[in-house]
């Protein structure tokens, strides 16, 4: 995993401790962590595909995705490496919108990204207003090091589940571990239960 600057470990006094999961510290910065080099993805060439165990599977281009209703979301995010960033604001499209016409009996999804990264999630954690495809952060286009042009945002789970440079979902009837899950990270990743690694 690659690391970048902007780690600040001092918890600020004004932070409501009820917003910070166990074992986390609050940072004003936005640390950059990734499993490899930052890919160069041109927005005009980007697509997002829903495939696998589903009817009405589809592919969205940058333009067709941007034509969908957008939402502004302000959420706290929590990394498995123990930093939390509070009150982050994103703009994007709810996965409920993308999956609205998809017929499936699948209970799971594997998000896949440019460069081969994958992460697995229960489908229930991607629907019901819990997940988005985001392309702006703090009112500006999402920078490549943070997953731009588009990343998955699943803020109620540790941030490795919010796949950078996301290119689609593979719907599955059976769960299948993703990249970090195969290396011993927890299969689900709830920050409030400190599900950092397998066995937690």
Does residue 136 carry a pLDDT above 80? yes
Residue 97: closest CA among 68, 126, 58: 68
What pLDDT is stored for residue 4 in this prediction?
Answer: 43
Structure confidence at residue 1 (pLDDT): 45
pLDDT of residue 8: 43
Rounded to an integer, the average pLDDT of 96-102 is 94
Single out the residue of 33, 39, 2, 46 nearest to residue 116, CA to CA: 39
Mean per-residue pLDDT for 48-77? 96
Q: Which of 53-62, 131-140, 169-178 has the least mean pLDDT?
A: 53-62
- Could you list the beta-strand ranges (E) of the chain: 2-3, 25-26, 33-34, 47-52, 58-61, 71-78, 83-94, 108-113, 118-122, 132-137, 140-141, 151-153, 166-172
Average pLDDT of the segment spanning 34-45: 89
Thinking of the domain 2-193, which architecture would CATH place it in? Alpha-Beta Complex (3.90)
Question: What pLDDT band is residue 146 in, cutting at 50, 70 and 90?
Answer: very high
Q: How confident is the model at residue 78 (pLDDT cuts 50, 70, 90)?
A: very high
- pLDDT score recorded for residue 182: 97
- The pLDDT value recorded for residue 109 is 98
Average pLDDT of the chain to the nearest whole number: 92
Residues 6+ positions from 193 with CB-CB distance below 8 Å: 200
Tell me: pLDDT of 3 over 60.
Answer: no
Whole-number pLDDT of residue 5:
41
Is pLDDT of 118 > 60? yes
Average pLDDT over residues 118-137: 98
Write down the pTM of the prediction: 0.91
Residue 199's pLDDT is 86
**pLDDT given at position 30:** 94
Asked if residue 7 has pLDDT above 70, the reply is: no
């Amino acid at each position: 995993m690659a690391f970048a600057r902007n780690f600040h470990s001092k918890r600020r006094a004004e932070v409501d401790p009820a917003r910070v999961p166990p074992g986390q510290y609050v940072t004003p910065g936005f640390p950059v962590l990734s499993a490899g080099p930052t890919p160069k993805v041109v927005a005009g060439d980007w697509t997002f595909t829903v495939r696998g165990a589903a009817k009405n599977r589809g592919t969205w281009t940058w333009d067709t995705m941007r034509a969908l209703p957008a939402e502004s979301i302000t959420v706290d995010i929590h990394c498995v490496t123990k930093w939390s960033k509070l009150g982050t604001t994103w703009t994007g499209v709810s996965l409920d919108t993308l999956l609205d016409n998809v017929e499936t009996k699948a209970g799971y999804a594997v998000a896949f990204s440019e460069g081969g990264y994958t992460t697995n999630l229960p489908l229930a954690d991607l629907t019901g207003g819990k997940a988005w495809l985001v392309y702006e952060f703090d009112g500006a286009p999402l920078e490549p090091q943070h997953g731009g042009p588009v990343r998955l945002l699943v803020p109620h789970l540790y941030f490795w589940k919010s796949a950078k440079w996301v290119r689609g979902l593979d719907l599955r009837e059976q769960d299948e571990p993703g990249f970090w899950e195969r290396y011993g990270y927890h299969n689900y990743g709830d920050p409030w239960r400190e599900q950092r690694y397998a066995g937690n």
